[in-house]
A and B are shown apart, each in its own frame.
Chain A
C-alpha cells in the first residue's frame, strides 16, 4: 500500500475501472456457479437413482 503523499507504484486503477472490474468478477462467479449447477442437474437427471449404484 502506498504511503500517504507518495505516488503509488504499479498500475493504478481509476474508480470506474475498479467498479467495472468488481462487477465483471461477480458476473463471472455467477456464470461459473451456474455451470456447476448445470453439470450437476445433467448428471442427476441422466443417471437418476443410478448415481448411487457404483462398485465399491
Chain B
C-alpha cells in the first residue's frame, strides 16, 4: 500500500459542510414561525420582562426549536433520503454526517435551555426542554413511523412556543396561553394533511404512515373538514376569554370562514388537477391564516400598550 493510499481515503472522510448546511439543519422556515408565535405569547403575557431579556428569551426559544429540527434530521435521514421534498437536506445529501447533526442538535438543545433559564426563568426553560424532547423523541422517534395520528399528537411540539414565550414572562402556564397552544394544535392536522394528500406517494415510498397512505384519501379529506370545523371556533376563543379584541375577532371570523371554504373544496374536489390545486390552496391559506391570527393578537396588544401604557 502506498502513502497516497493511506492518506487520501482519510481526507475523503473529512467534513465538507459549510456553516449554511448547519443553519439548514435548524429548519429556518419552521424557526421563523416559532419566533413569531413565541413573540406573541411573550407580548400578550401579563407582567413585564426587560426588553433585552425578552429578546434573548425569544432567541433561545428559536434555537431550541432549531435544535429539535437538527435532531429530527439526524434521526430521519433514512426516510428523508427517499422523499423528493427532503432528499436535498444536509444529512441525506451527505454534506453533514449523522454524528455531526446529532452532536449539533444536542449541544444547541442544552445551550438554548440554559440560556432561556438564565434570561427568564427555569419554568420556561423546562417547558422548552419538554418541547424539544416532545418533537425529537415522542414525535420523530416514536409517533411518526408508528401511527397515522403522528402529526395530530406531534403537532403539540409546534404548538408549545407561544406557551414558552408566555412562561418566560409569568413563569406559569395559564388558560390563556393554553388557548394559543390549542389554536396551533388544531391547525396542524388540516395544514399537514393538505400537503400529505399531494405528497402521499413520497410518504408511502418512505414507509411513513401518514393518514392518506393508511386511511385513504377520502378519509383524509373528511378529517381535514372536521378539524377545520373545529379550528374556526377555536380561533375565536381568545376573543371569548378577553385575551383579544374586536379586530382579532374579525380576522378570526373571516380567516376561519376562508379555511372552511377551502376545506370544503378539498372535500369535494377529489380527482385531477383541481383536487391538487384545492390541496395547495388550503395548505397556502392555512399558513396565512395562522400568521394573520397571531399578527392580529400582536398588533392589538401593541396598540393597547401605546394607548394605555
Contacts and interface: CB of A to CB of B under 8 A. Distances in A.
Main secondary structure of the interface of A (DSSP, over half): helix
Contacts of A7: 3-4
B113 to A, nearest CB: 14
Interface stretch (B10-18, B28-36, B132-140): B10-18
Contacts of B52: 41, 45
Contact of B10 (A11, A20, A26, A27): A11
B64 to A, nearest CB: 14
A43 B15 CA distance: 36
A42 B53 contact: yes
B119 interface: yes
Contacts of A13: 11, 14
B155 to A, nearest CB: 31
Given A7-B3, A46-B53, A14 B22 contact: no
B56 A20 contact: no
What size tier do the contact residues of chain A reach? 20 to 34
Closest 3 CB pairs of A and B: A27-B19, A11-B10, A45-B52
A11 B22 contact: no
28 contacts: A7-B3, A9-B3, A11-B7, A11-B14, A12-B7, A12-B11, A13-B11, A17-B14, A17-B15, A17-B16, A20-B15, A20-B17, A20-B18, A21-B14, A23-B19, A24-B15, A24-B17, A24-B18, A35-B111, A35-B115, A39-B118, A41-B52, A42-B53, A42-B56, A45-B50, A45-B52, A46-B53, A46-B118
Given A9-B3, A24-B17, A24-B18, A17 B11 contact: yes
Interface of A: 7-14, 16-17, 20-21, 23-24, 26-27, 35, 38-39, 41-42, 45-46
Contacts of B307: none
B273 interface: no
B85 interface: no
A16 B16 contact: yes
A17 B15 CA distance: 7
A38 B3 CA distance: 47
A11 B53 contact: no
A45 B18 CA distance: 34
B4 A41 contact: no
